[in-house]
Structures are given as structure tokens and as C-alpha cells.
């Protein structure tokens, strides 16, 4: 069975000199009876869907079914060809994250990692980091197992649902998963990967879930963009040897207790936060009458 805590995971990986990705693959083989090759193949299919959804809305503007959002991934990608303030890597990561989000609300195919709302965070961050670092598909696939491990630990000890824990549980968890994955992809230790995940969670602690009209569009898409950047900066902080003063397991507990303390208006009901603003209410009326 997959272990329950990040500290145990770190200890086991250290004792056996294996990565989080290798540990996760081993447990998956034991629990589900799949061979290593079958699991890698399954993850390769996920990677392919991530790649396609991260690219699709860069090439042509995509609108959501409601008509409320869309076209931003295309705009950002076009803008990045002319100039960028933050640099090409950052802007491309954001554009890819937006693309997945736009494909999702246009009813296209995405990988819900860990759920559909933050589906752009992991592809935006990991694909862009992998491109810069010239990583092979095999290395990217392994990093997705690292991401899975972080997701499993958060799901076991807290929640991945905006309705239960706010957006910190969705975009925050996705950023934590991606940050740890990138650290392992860069050759960082399991301990460093857990620090990256803890930092990513800390950066977004308390973020509410407040989708306009209850649709997973706004603010979700832009939070995917910022989630991808959260993952990249958290990975860089950890790779520089910077640690999270609060360990990963305690960060997960803190995220869960903050989520439970949020009023229901701020947990995916579309009743609070930006959903409750005059503009949010007007948009809701326009969409639903
Ligand atoms: S705001 Fe809510 S619905 Fe949107 S991504 Fe965040 S958690 Fe999901």
C-alpha cells in the first residue's frame, strides 16, 4: 500500500536510494498487478493528451461553451512572439496552462490532474520545464509518477476538491505535484521534491474557490497560469537548496484545516469571492437568464 505521509516516503526513498517516481511505480505494480511497461505506457497516453491540450488553444482561439471565456491562450502565445517581460519560459508555461483550461471548458479532452479545474497546471509547468531541460519522454513520464505520489498524499491526508478545501486544494495541489515532479526531473532528491511541494502549497494557502456562475472558467483559467508559475518557482527554490520551514505533511494538514474553515460561499458554490461581485452576478444572469 502507498505510504501515508511524506516523511515516510522521503525516508523509504533515502534508505533504498530510489526516487519518488520509482517508489510510486513499484506500489502501482503491487496494487494493480500491472507491469512496469504497462504503467509507463498508460502514463505515456496521459502525456500525449497533456501535450495536445497544452497546444490546441495556442494555435487557434478556443471559446468556452458558455461564451464567457476563451482566446487567452492564443493571445498570450502570439504576444510572446513579439515580447515578454517575464521571459519566454514563464509566458509559455502560462500559455500552455491556459490552453488546457480552455480546451477543458470547450469540452475537449484533458487530463484531470488532480481534477479538471487545475488541469493546466501540471502540463504547463512540466512540459515547459522539460523542454528547457531537454528531457526525454521517459524522464517526463517518470516525473508524472512523482506528481502522482504528491497527489496521493494530499488526497490521503486532506482533499483535492475545491468544494471541500477551496482552490488551494485544486490549483495548490496541482502546483505542489508539478513542483515535486520538476525537482525530480532536475535530479533533486525526494526530500527536495517534498520541500518544493510544501513551498507551492504555502504560496497559495487560503485561496478560495469562487467560480463565476459556478462554471469552471473564471477565475480558474488564470489560476492555472499562476499555478504553473508557482510550480516553477517552487522547484527553483528547492533546487537552490532552500527548504520549507514547515514540512510537507504539516503543510498538507494546514491546507486542509484552512479549507475546512472556509465558509461554504467560498467553496465552489459560486456564492462568494469574485462570483459575488456585481460583474460576476451580471455574467451569471447573462449565461443562465
Ligand atoms: S476556483 Fe474552484 S472551480 Fe476554479 S479551479 Fe479553483 S477550485 Fe477549481
Strand partners, 63: 70
Q: Which atom of ligand 1 is nearest to the CA of 115?
A: 8
**244 phi-psi bin (left φ>0, alpha ψ -120 to 50, beta other):** beta
Cα–Cα distance for residue pair 12/102, rounded to 1 Å: 39
Render pLDDT for 208-228 as a digit per residue (tens, 0 to 9): 999 999 999 999 999 999 999
Is the Cβ atom of 171 under 6 angstroms away from ligand 1?
yes
C-beta separation of 156 from 119 below 8 A: no
* Helix (H), strand (E) at residue 171: none
268 lines ligand 1 (CB under 6 A): yes
In eight-state DSSP terms, residue 19 is: -
* CB distance 188 to 196 below 8 Å: yes
What is the pLDDT at residue 178? 99
| Cα→Cα distances 19→24, 166, 220, Å | 9, 30, 32
Top-confidence residue, 156 or 289:
156
* Ligand 1 centroid distance, CA of 207 (Å): 9
Cβ of 170 closer than 6 Å to ligand 1, yes or no, is yes
Euclidean distance between CA atoms 269 and 163, whole angstroms: 7
Q: Are the CB atoms for 194 and 10 separated by under 8 Å?
A: yes
Q: Which regions of the chain does DSSP assign to beta strands (E)? A: none
Q: Ligand 1 centre from 247 Cα, in Å? A: 25
List pLDDT tens digits, range 33-92.
Answer: 999 999 999 999 999 999 999 999 999 999 999 999 999 999 999 999 999 999 999 999
Interval between CA 218 and ligand 1 midpoint (Å): 8
Q: What is the pTM of this model?
A: 0.98
- Confirm or reject: Cβ of 220 under 6 Å from ligand 1: yes
Q: Is 119 in the pocket of ligand 1 (CB under 6 A)?
A: no
Which residues 6+ apart lie within 8 Å of 217 measured at CB? 64, 66, 68, 69, 105, 211
Q: Name every residue whose Cβ is closer than 8 Å to that of residue 127 and which is 6 or more positions away in sequence.
A: 50, 51, 54, 96, 140
| Tens of pLDDT, residues 167-179 | 999 999 999 999 9
Amino acid at each position: 500500500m502507498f505510504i501515508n505521509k511524506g516523511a515516510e516516503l522521503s525516508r523509504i526513498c533515502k534508505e533504498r536510494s530510489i526516487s519518488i517516481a520509482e517508489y510510486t511505480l513499484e506500489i502501482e505494480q503491487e496494487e494493480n498487478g500491472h507491469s512496469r511497461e504497462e504503467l509507463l505506457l498508460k502514463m505515456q497516453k496521459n502525456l500525449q493528451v497533456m501535450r495536445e491540450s497544452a497546444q490546441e488553444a495556442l494555435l487557434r482561439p478556443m471559446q468556452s461553451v458558455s461564451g464567457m471565456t476563451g482566446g487567452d491562450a492564443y493571445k498570450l502565445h502570439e504576444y510572446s512572439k513579439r515580447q515578454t517581460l517575464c521571459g519566454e519560459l514563464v509566458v509559455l508555461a502560462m500559455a500552455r496552462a491556459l490552453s488546457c483550461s480552455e480546451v477543458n471548458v470547450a469540452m475537449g479532452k484533458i487530463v484531470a490532474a488532480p481534477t479538471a479545474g487545475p488541469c493546466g497546471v501540471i502540463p504547463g509547468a512540466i512540459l515547459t520545464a522539460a523542454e528547457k531541460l531537454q528531457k526525454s519522454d521517459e524522464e517526463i513520464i517518470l516525473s508524472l509518477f512523482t506528481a502522482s505520489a504528491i497527489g496521493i498524499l494530499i488526497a490521503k491526508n486532506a482533499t483535492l476538491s475545491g468544494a471541500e478545501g477551496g482552490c488551494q486544494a485544486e490549483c495548490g495541489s496541482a502546483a505542489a505535484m508539478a513542483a515535486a515532479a520538476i525537482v525530480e526531473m532536475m535530479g533533486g532528491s525526494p526530500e527536495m521534491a517534498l520541500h518544493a511541494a510544501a513551498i507551492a502549497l504555502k504560496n497559495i494557502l487560503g485561496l478560495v474557490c469562487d467560480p463565476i456562475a459556478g462554471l469552471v472558467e473564471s477565475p480558474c483559467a488564470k489560476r492555472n497560469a499562476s499555478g504553473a508559475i508557482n510550480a516553477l518557482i517552487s522547484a527553483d527554490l528547492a533546487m537552490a537548496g532552500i527548504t520549507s520551514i514547515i514540512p510537507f505533511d504539516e503543510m498538507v494538514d494546514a491546507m486542509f484545516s484552512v479549507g475546512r474553515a472556509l465558509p461554504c460561499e467560498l467553496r465552489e458554490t459560486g456564492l462568494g469571492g469574485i462570483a459575488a461581485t456585481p460583474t460576476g452576478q451580471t455574467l451569471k444572469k447573462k449565461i443562465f437568464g
